[in-house]
């Protein structure tokens, strides 16, 4: 299976601070990938590198097998909706559709007009007077009607109310189903991604903490609770993501590819949100968090 | 991409079209009258000579006191300001506003490379800038033709300005094309580097204004090696000497025109002694001639015979003082126009090239 987005040792520094570093990733084709992390974790930087809006300081990135924004053909294969879904405030909705048609040889005007019709947007309305949700939908329509193979969305729903959020994600999922495109969307809220994503990348403090199929991640992470004991006594292959202790009890969130056999543990599955939160609260350095008492996730 | 540029350019273009229309109406309405005044002053039937120059001076002098005394500098000002306004309001926001509003992410993720996006925008904006400014220039040149003719006839007062004067040179011929192209490219570059519209506008204006001041003062005079000539002090077109120092033992004398070189650009002038060296020492024999004359003149009395500025200049001439003049001949006018325009166009192209490279290399 080929990767729609492949990064090796990718890093981007602004002056002396790293916005993203040592990023090695391979996002497979045909997935809806959630890029999740707190604000400032490097999500926008990673998407900026993927669109060619930014140039890497270190390492390499290829999108659909090519250098980002390498030429008109490569640009045509990738759709991008930037943070805050920018549109030209002074141009009308119709102007935006015209703009899309002029600048994209693969423009699907039927798709664009159908979507605008479904959204009941007025073609003569200036984009500057649209609501946040309408603006996001217009930006998504532009990105989808160019018929890309990969759609990159940077916090597309962050500024939307819950209803507009749901409508936006529904529209996105319909398009994915209809055109079989790959999607990478970033969010700092797991709840947004939970319903739509089948692949997850967790970015914290400019580094990738975990990446994988959502189903695999859920299957390999367990919440263990049992009598108080030191996590270092766990068998090899069980990596502690978070731990918390009371006088008598120990609660762990572990990652393991095999089953947990120790009968002392009560083993429970982990929800996606808890799993992500566990990685977000884990310490920043690369050493395993075995000796640190962090992240009380109950 | 061309169609998108035109679509986005609409509002700015309409503003400029309105200004141009107003300018055209103003000049078309007043132009014929200006030509009538020229004819009425008897200039169209005059055939050279000093009487012609007197008529021409009367014409330009009386214009300066009427509404044309406002209209002429106003129309000149519009042409002078046009490139700056274009640089500030068309150039500076071109990239900066896209970055500020985030629409750059929209524009640069269509199936058009950034190079093409910017090249088309620079091309359309640059051509429009040059066309607009030169159109203003040509309109005003047509309108002011009687004044230019009067200058050729020898007028030197009122609204009359030599073709090499700072205001005239910069608003006639082809130089406005160069200024417009440069100002536009400068604005775009400032916007690309500063990434914010308002500061980019300010920087554009500051740099352009500085260059427009530096050009006539320090650069233009050196675009071709100047000519030198030494002339009798009595031929300098009524230039008044001034005496300074105790007892008037030093003096200065500037030339107002160059004998036999009408329309030439006078760069500098100063007296030299018989040996050809610059001097400011009054010959001993002339000290009293000038001094008495000046005090008499200052009190409003008639100069006594053999006294006064004219007698002083005569005296200087008799004692071997001559005037050394550095100038650019009138025949070099178009060479200067072409050179200066070429310099500005080359700068504009260099800036455009830099912007395209930067947009590709550094990315946003």
Tell me, letter by letter, the H, E, C secondary structure of chain B. CHHHHHHHHHHHHHHHHHHHHHHHHHHHHHHHHHHHHHHHCCCCCCCCCHHHHHHHHHHHHHHHHCCHHHHHHHHHHHHHHHHHHHHHHHHHHHHHHHHHHCHHHHHCCCCCCHHHHHHHHHHHHHHHHHHHHHHHHHHHHHHCHHHHHHHHCCCCCCCCCCCCCHHHHHHCCCHHHHHHHHHHHHHHHHHHHHCCHHHHHHHHHHHHHHHHHHHHHHHHHHCCCCEEEEEEHHHCCCCCCEEECHHHCEEECCCCCCCCCCCCEEEEEEEECCCCCECCECCHHHHHHHHHHHHHHHCCCCCCCCCHHHHHHHHHHHCCCEEEEEEECHHHHHHHHHHHHHHHHHHHHHHHHHHHHHHHHCCC
Q: Is B124 on the interface with A (CB under 8 A)?
A: no
The span from the CA of B259 to the CA of B70, in Å, is: 32
Nearest chain B CA: its distance from A108 CA (Å): 13
Partners of B195 on chain A (C-beta within 8 Å) are none
* Shared domain check, B191 and B72: yes
pLDDT (tens digit, 0 to 9) for every residue of chain B, 364 residues total?
A: 889 999 999 888 899 999 999 999 999 999 999 999 888 887 777 776 677 888 888 898 889 888 999 999 999 999 999 999 999 999 999 999 999 999 999 999 999 999 999 999 999 999 999 999 999 999 999 999 999 988 888 888 888 888 999 999 999 999 999 999 999 999 999 999 999 999 999 999 999 999 999 999 999 999 999 999 998 888 776 666 777 767 677 888 888 888 788 889 999 988 998 888 888 888 888 877 765 445 544 555 566 666 777 788 888 888 888 999 999 999 999 999 999 999 999 999 999 999 999 988 755 4
Q: Note whether B189 and B90 are within 8 A (CB).
A: no
State the total domains in chain B: 2
CA distance A236 to chain B (A): 46
Which residue in chain A has the smallest CA separation from B1? Answer: A103
- Report how far residue B192's alpha carbon sits from residue B100's, in angstroms, rounded to the nearest whole number: 11
Interface check for A258 against chain B (CB to CB < 8 A): the answer is no
CB interface of A with B, residues 73-102, below 8 Å = 73, 75-76, 78-80, 82-84, 86-91, 95, 98-100, 102
Q: Selecting from 3.40.50.300, 1.10.1370.20, 3.40.190.170, 3.40.50.1980, what CATH number does the domain A3-205 have?
A: 3.40.50.300
In A, minimum Cα distance to B105 occurs at A82
- B344 and B280 within one domain: no
Domain ranges of chain A: 3-205, 221-291
What predicted TM-score, i.e. pTM, was given to this entire model? Answer: 0.89
Q: pLDDT by residue (tens digit) across A3-34?
A: 899 999 999 998 888 999 999 999 999 999 99
CB contact under 8 A, A53 and B1: no
H or E element in which residue A254 lies: strand A249-255
Alpha-carbon distance A58 to B198, whole Å?
34
Spell out the residues 6+ positions from residue B344 whose beta carbon is closer than 8 angstroms to its own: B175, B178, B179, B181, B182
Q: Which residue of chain A is at minimal alpha-carbon distance from B115? A: A71
Q: A53–B361: do the CB atoms touch at under 8 Å?
A: no
Tell me which chain A residue has its CA closest to the CA of residue B4.
A99
Chain position carrying tokens 């090695």: A24
Instruction: Clarify whether residues B129 and B191 are in a common domain.
Output: yes
Same domain for B322 and B350? Answer: no
Same domain, B184 and B292: no
Same domain, B322 and B341: no
A93 and A116 Cβ atoms separated by less than 8 Å: yes
Are residues B47 and B186 located together in one domain of the fold?
Answer: yes
Instruction: Say if residues B72 and B31 touch (Cβ distance below 8 Å).
Output: no
Q: Do B102 and A84 touch (CB under 8 A)?
A: yes
Tell me the β-bridge partners of B220. none
**Inter-chain residue contact B102 with A82, CB threshold 8 Å:** yes
Residues B207 and B255 in one domain: no
Residue written as tokens 């209809």? A178
Tokens at residue B43, please?
Answer: 């200039």
**From the candidates B10, B11, B13, B105, which should be mutated to test the interface with A, based on the most A CB atoms within 10 A?**
B105
Q: Are residues B114 and B48 in the same domain?
A: yes
Q: Which domain holds residue B91?
A: 2-222+332-361
**Dihedral angle, C-alpha B51, B52, B55, B56, nearest 10 °:** -140
| Record: contact B109-A80, CB cut-off 8 A | yes
One domain for residues B132 and B275:
no
């Amino acid at each position: 299976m080929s990767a729609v987005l492949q990064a090796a040792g990718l890093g981007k520094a602004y002056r002396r601070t790293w916005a993203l570093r040592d990023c090695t990733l391979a996002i497979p084709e045909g997935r809806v990938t959630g890029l999740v992390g707190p604000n400032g974790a490097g999500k926008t930087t990673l998407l900026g590198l993927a669109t060619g809006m930014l140039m890497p300081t270190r390492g390499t990135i290829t999108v659909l097998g090519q250098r980002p924004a390498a030429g008109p053909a490569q640009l045509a294969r990738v759709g991008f909706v930037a943070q805050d879904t920018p549109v030209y405030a002074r141009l009308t909705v119709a102007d935006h559709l015209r703009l899309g048609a002029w600048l994209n040889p693969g423009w699907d005007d039927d798709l664009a007009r159908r979507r605008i019709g479904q959204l009941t947007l007025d073609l003569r309305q200036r984009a500057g007077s649209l609501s946040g949700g309408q603006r996001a939908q217009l930006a998504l329509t532009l990105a989808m009607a160019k018929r890309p193979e990969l759609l990159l969305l940077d916090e597309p729903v962050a500024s939307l109310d819950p209803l507009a959020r749901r409508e936006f994600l529904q529209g996105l999922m319909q398009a994915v189903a209809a055109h079989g495109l790959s999607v990478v969307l970033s969010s700092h809220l797991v709840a947004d991604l939970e319903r739509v994503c089948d692949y997850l990348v967790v970015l914290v403090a400019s580094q990738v903490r975990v990446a994988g199929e959502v189903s695999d991640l859920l299957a390999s992470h367990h919440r263990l609770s049992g009598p108080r004991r030191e996590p270092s006594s766990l068998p090899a292959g069980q990596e502690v993501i978070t731990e918390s202790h009371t006088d008598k009890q120990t609660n762990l969130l572990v990652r393991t590819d095999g089953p947990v056999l120790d009968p002392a543990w009560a083993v429970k599955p982990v929800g996606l949100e808890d799993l992500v939160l566990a990685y977000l609260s884990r310490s920043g350095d690369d050493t395993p968090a075995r000796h640190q008492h962090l992240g009380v996730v109950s | 991409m061309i169609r998108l540029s035109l679509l986005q350019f609409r509002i700015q273009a309409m503003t400029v079209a309105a200004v141009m229309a107003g300018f055209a109406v103003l000049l078309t309405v007043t132009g014929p009258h200006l030509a009538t005044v020229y004819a009425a002053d008897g200039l169209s039937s005059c055939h050279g000579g000093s009487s012609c120059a007197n008529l021409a001076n009367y014409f330009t002098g009386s214009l300066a006191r009427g509404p044309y005394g406002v209209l002429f500098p106003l129309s000149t000002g519009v042409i002078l300001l046009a490139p700056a306004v274009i640089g500030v309001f068309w150039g500076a926001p071109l990239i900066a506003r896209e970055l500020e509003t985030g629409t750059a992410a929209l524009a640069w993720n269509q199936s058009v490379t950034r190079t093409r996006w910017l090249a088309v925008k620079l091309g359309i904006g640059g051509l429009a800038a040059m066309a607009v400014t030169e159109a203003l220039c040509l309109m005003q040149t047509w309108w002011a033709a009687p004044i230019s003719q009067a200058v050729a006839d020898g007028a030197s007062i009122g609204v009359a300005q030599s073709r090499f004067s700072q205001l005239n040179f910069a608003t006639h011929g082809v130089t406005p094309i160069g200024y417009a192209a440069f100002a536009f490219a400068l604005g775009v570059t400032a916007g690309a580097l500063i990434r914010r519209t308002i500061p980019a506008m300010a920087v554009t204006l500051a740099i352009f204004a500085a260059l427009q001041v530096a050009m006539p003062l320090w650069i233009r005079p050196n675009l071709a090696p100047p000519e030198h000539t030494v002339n009798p002090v009595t031929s300098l077109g009524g230039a008044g000497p001034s005496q300074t120092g105790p007892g008037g033992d030093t003096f200065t004398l500037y030339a107002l025109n160059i004998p036999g070189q009408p329309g030439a650009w006078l760069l500098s002038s100063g007296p030299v002694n018989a040996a050809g060296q610059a001097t400011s020492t009054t010959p001993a024999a002339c000290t009293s001639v000038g001094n008495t004359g000046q005090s008499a003149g200052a009190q409003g009395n008639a100069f006594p015979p053999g006294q006064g500025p004219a007698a002083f200049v005569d005296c200087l001439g008799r004692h071997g003082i001559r005037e050394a003049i550095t100038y650019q001949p009138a025949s070099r006018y178009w060479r200067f126009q072409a050179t200066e325009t070429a310099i500005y166009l080359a700068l504009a192209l260099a800036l455009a090239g830099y912007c395209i490279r930067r947009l590709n290399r550094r990315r946003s």
